[in-house]
Structure 1
Amino acid sequence: MCGTKLCNEHGNPVQLRGMSTHGTQWYARCLTGGSLDALADDWNADVLRVSTYVQEGGYESDPAHFTALADSLIEQASARGMYVIVDWHMLDPGDPMANLDNARRFFTDIARRHKDRDNILYEIANEPSGVSWPRIKSYAEQIIPVIRDIDADAPVLVGTRAWSSFGIPEGADESEVVNNPVDASNIMYTFHFYAASHRDDYLAVLARAADRIPVFVTEFGTQNYAGEGADDFAMSQRYLDLMADRRISWVNWNFSDDHRSGAVFRTGTCAADGPWTGTSSLKPAGVWIRDRIRTPDSFPTG
């Protein structure tokens, strides 16, 4: 970190752009050597978010399996020159404290395996909901030392209130984090948006927050908040323009062939093992986001 920016080893601000997996309990078949080659070399993505769900048939159902799966994806993405966000995808229940012991175990295991890498970012709570910022902060201040005791330097990404929105749906904004930050260094705060649902109020909070604290958009979509429905590419471009201007790194949801419009591949692509390169297998959102990862400076505000 340098100030509010994510910086490289030379101290220069960088903007990472890439994709998030869907839940690996459902869509591991979309994460093959071929698809990851395409993401790195055809899409030119420089970051993969590996989403390990905790509930919904995820980590808590088989910790060893899902740790090994995350480990394998970290290895494969790293071998292709990408950064990796290790996403602890707690969603329901929305209180991160409900999974505190599991989180300690998972991050201990992952950090021990990857402590010598310089391309890992740890996202410790995907979308807290129904809980206050002080409670999320307390969780972070218990989990961050678990990671730091093993991997002292890796950035840690902290989820914010109300589905990582700085509490906007609950009448809050970035000031609660600015005025009561997590007591740790080399951390960033996450912000999620879905352009068809989250309009100018979200955009304004993201702009203000990025001037005060380090922000990483670890999830966004061009559709509604469920990753469904029509794409709003014009609003999405306004967000991308802001993030380019402020050097805010971002990851799009999601790199799978789920039936929803927010999954980039057409249904059936993963079972057929591609094709992964080009645009023939992509939904409209996939075509749009691939273009913006490949050539981010070629698109004026839409």
Structure 2
Amino acid sequence: MRAPHPSLRRGVATAALGSVLLLLLALVPTGNARAAVAPRTAATTPVSANGQLKVCGTKLCNSRGNPVQLRGMSTHGTQWYPHCLTSGSLNALADDWKADVLRVSTYVQEDGYETDPQHFTELANSLIRQASDRGLYVIVDWHMLTPGDPHANLGRARQFFTDIATRNKDRNNILYEIANEPSGVSWSRIKSYAEQIIPTIRAVDHDAPVLVGTRAWSSFGVSEGGNETEVVNNPVKASNIMYTFHFYASSHRDEYLATLSRAADRLPVFVTEFGTQNYAGEGADDFAMSQRYLDLMAAKKISWVNWNFSDDHRSGAVFKTGTCDRSGPWTGTAPLKPAGVWIRERIRTPDAFPAA
């Protein structure tokens, strides 16, 4: 995500209004938005069905060696929108949306991890536990954005991933995304960072897949005039890893789509962030271009995560503004913006939208 994210400011008046609205919502039936949703059973969750994931060739595979495609949502920055990540909203993601994976985005700067490492580590651990309790896979996202050189936060990254891996090493549902969107640096610089952080994780958690950010905001270099060949010709020296690709359909057109297609034929790729809007996650939705991406990812079993599971004012946040302040309702389509309705349908019933 390459747009600035203003910090959340909620005053006493907002809280009071939220309390009144909650009381009204409790008294007034709201149809689809409050429809009862049957929870998944322990035997039917994504993790129970697939177990420990691993990279096999160019695919993400389950414990039986069969390629899988995960579909799910990314949180917004947990420093701004923790109130969007409640028991009710996570239940909705697991049981109503039928998601496979939650990406937990811990920003490093922008009032994030660097301001209080212990708090943001504990917050990430709490979300990992809650998602795990619901049978979801979890991407632990080190959301470095500015500065774009991942080496700028190398020491912090070592500490964060050591702490997270130590707490969660016995889980079979964790993936580590070690650098959200590197920018303004060479692929060799990013590769050097990866080859220092991956051993840090592997020293504690031997089995979890690691997701490596690519150059130019995880575009395989396209946004800075490159392409996937720099990674194909000089891959990270580590096993059980995948490379990340991000796109925003309204801004990132055929050149990006073609790059993703070529890269996925040569490399294991995970789309850990995308939106149906412009590169800032705002503006009009381009559902037609988005569907072209989803068709390609379905055909090649490329797992994906949509940005983002919050009520930010931008069009890319799935919930209508104010939903999180009111603590829901979370289920159905009533609380969702158009992008939320669209993406929920494609997580719930992917087979209902066959490739054109």
TM-score by length of 1: 0.99
Q: Which amino acid aligns with 2:168?
A: H
Q: Which runs of 5+ in 2 are unaligned?
A: 1-54
Tell me what 1:10 maps to.
64
- Give the counterpart of 1:253 among 300, 307, 313: 307
Distance (Å, rounded) in 2 between the aligned partners of 1:76 and 1:103 = 23
Distance (Å, rounded) in 1 between the aligned partners of 2:337 and 2:83 = 18
Tell me what 1:185 maps to.
239
Q: Which runs of 5+ in 1 are unaligned?
A: none
* 1:216 maps to 2:270: yes
Q: Which amino acid aligns with 1:131?
A: V
Tell me what 1:203 maps to.
257
What does residue range 38-117 of structure 1 map to in structure 2 within 5 Å?
38-117=92-171
Shift of 1:257: 0.1
- Give the counterpart of 2:342 among 276, 288, 296: 288
Distance (Å, rounded) in 2 between the aligned partners of 1:169 and 1:186 = 26
Shift of 1:61: 0.2
Distance (Å, rounded) in 1 between the aligned partners of 2:60 and 2:195 = 21
Shift of 1:301: 4.5
Task: For residue 102 of structure 2, give the secondary structure of its aligned residue in structure 1.
Answer: strand
Task: For residue 110 of structure 2, give the secondary structure of its aligned residue in structure 1.
Answer: coil
Distance (Å, rounded) in 2 between the aligned partners of 1:155 and 1:104 = 17
* 1:176 maps to 2:252: no
Shift of 1:170: 1.6
- How many aligned residue pairs are there? 302
Deviations 1:251-296 (A, max 9, x none): 0000000000000000000010000000100000000000000000
Q: Is the 8 A contact 1:234 1:301 kept in 2?
A: no
Task: For residue 161 of structure 2, give the secondary structure of its aligned residue in structure 1.
Answer: helix
Shift of 1:87: 0.0
Distance (Å, rounded) in 2 between the aligned partners of 1:22 and 1:224 = 17
Shift of 1:297: 1.1
Tell me what 2:294 maps to.
240
Tell me what 2:331 maps to.
277
Task: For residue 24 of structure 1, give the secondary structure of its aligned residue in structure 2.
Answer: coil
Q: RMSD across aligned C-alpha pairs, in angstroms? A: 0.6
Tell me what 2:10 maps to.
none
Deviations 1:205-244 (A, max 9, x none): 0000000000000000000000000000000000000000
Shift of 1:300: 3.6
Task: For residue 350 of structure 2, give the secondary structure of its aligned residue in structure 1.
Answer: coil
Q: Which amino acid aligns with 1:270?
A: C
What does residue range 116-195 of structure 1 map to in structure 2 within 5 Å?
116-195=170-249
Rg larger in 1 or in 2? 2
Q: Is the 8 A contact 1:192 1:218 kept in 2?
A: yes
Task: For residue 18 of structure 1, give the secondary structure of its aligned residue in structure 2.
Answer: strand
Distance (Å, rounded) in 2 between the aligned partners of 1:225 and 1:58 = 22
Task: For residue 80 of structure 2, give the secondary structure of its aligned residue in structure 1.
Answer: helix
Task: For residue 239 of structure 1, give the secondary structure of its aligned residue in structure 2.
Answer: helix
Shift of 1:196: 0.1
Q: Is the 8 A contact 1:78 1:119 kept in 2?
A: yes
* 1:22 maps to 2:76: yes
Q: Which amino acid aligns with 1:64?
A: Q
TM-score by length of 2: 0.84
Deviations 1:143-187 (A, max 9, x none): 000000000110000000000000002211010000000000000
Identity of aligned residues (%): 82
Q: Is the 8 A contact 1:217 1:248 kept in 2?
A: yes
Task: For residue 25 of structure 1, give the secondary structure of its aligned residue in structure 2.
Answer: coil
Tell me what 2:21 maps to.
none
Instruction: After the TM superposition, list the runs of 4 or more consecutive aligned residues in structure 1 that deviate by more than 4 angstroms.
Output: none
Distance (Å, rounded) in 2 between the aligned partners of 1:104 and 1:271 = 34
Q: Is the 8 A contact 1:58 1:66 kept in 2?
A: yes
Distance (Å, rounded) in 1 between the aligned partners of 2:245 and 2:128 = 23
Distance (Å, rounded) in 2 between the aligned partners of 1:140 and 1:117 = 22
Distance (Å, rounded) in 1 between the aligned partners of 2:321 and 2:337 = 9
